[in-house]
Amino acid sequence: MLEYITTLFINAAIFALFSLGLNLQWGFAGLVNFGHVAFMTVGAYTTVLLSLNGVPWFLAFLIASAIAGLLGLIIGNATLKLREDYLGIVTIGVSEMVRLIVNNEAWLTNGTRGVQDFPLPLVNLVARPYYSFVLAALLLIVVIIIFWRLELIVRSPWGRVLKAIREDEEVVKALGKNVFWYKLQAFAIGGAIGGMAGSFYAWQLTTVYPNNFTTLITLQAWTIIAIGGAGNNLGVLLGAVIFQAYNALPRFLPEQIRADGGRFEAIQLMLIGLTLILIMVWRPQGILGNKKELTLNR
């Protein structure tokens, strides 16, 4: 049971980290990104490929995050001048393009066969059956650091400008601020955080395949933000915990339902959908969100 709870914690923390990056882009900067999984893909593959070539895990982790952030700069430079709906469409296309590249460039990524047997961080500290505890501790440290740093920057003058851009970027332009540059920074930082989540996702799965990184992953992050509250980092953490709680349901359902995977998955989707409906009706800003943080009707 303890190992099961640890696995649930790892999954929740990975998606919390992933969603914190998206929340910086959407919740604070108002950037519609439906292709956030592209950063996770780049982070995961960069980490495992560098590790297989002898790069220490912590250095591979930092390089993967930096490359994901660089991808954010490239994508942002090409797309952030688009209107919100067009930006969302283009980012979906970019994420699919990244997935198709890792799917087809077998010389680099091993294609559909995926990448396995890559080194894991701190794996020699404990016996392999207990490795999940080490990974959970490492992940907890990273989430705490990222959460702390995000809280600092969004409460800084930089963060206040970002919120002002979200509300009305024309006013910010009139005050002499470089709106595009602020957006680009938010997009790149959010991408770097998504790359970090990709590293941990690879370490948790112990194997990576192109189909691990579909658009559904991004939609799950959007769901987490909707539940917890856009523009609230603590709300994102809460949303990730609630979302992951649905994955714990097999332990508490009758055996005949657990044995029927299709029925159980349907129940999970129904419960998630019902949660979203209730939140949208009774508290559209999310559990910990503020109505002033909403940008849907801007």
Lowest mean pLDDT, pick from 233-237, 249-253, 278-282: 249-253
Lowest mean pLDDT, pick from 19-28, 59-68, 119-128, 144-153: 119-128
**Total Cβ atoms within 10 A of residue 10:** 22
- Inform me whether the pLDDT recorded for 120 exceeds 90: yes
> In which band, very low, low, confident or very high, does the pLDDT at 33 lie, cut at 50, 70 and 90?
very high
pTM of the model: 0.92
- Per DSSP, helices labelled H in 53-130 are 57-79, 84-104, 106-109
- Inform me whether the pLDDT recorded for 1 exceeds 90: no
Tell me which residue has tokens 């929740």: 12
Mean pLDDT of 108-135: 89
DSSP 140-209: HHHHHHHHHHHHHHHTSHHHHHHHHHHHHHHHHHHTT--HHHHHHHHHHHHHHHHHHHHHHHHHHHSEE-
**243 closest CA partner among 287, 296, 201:** 287
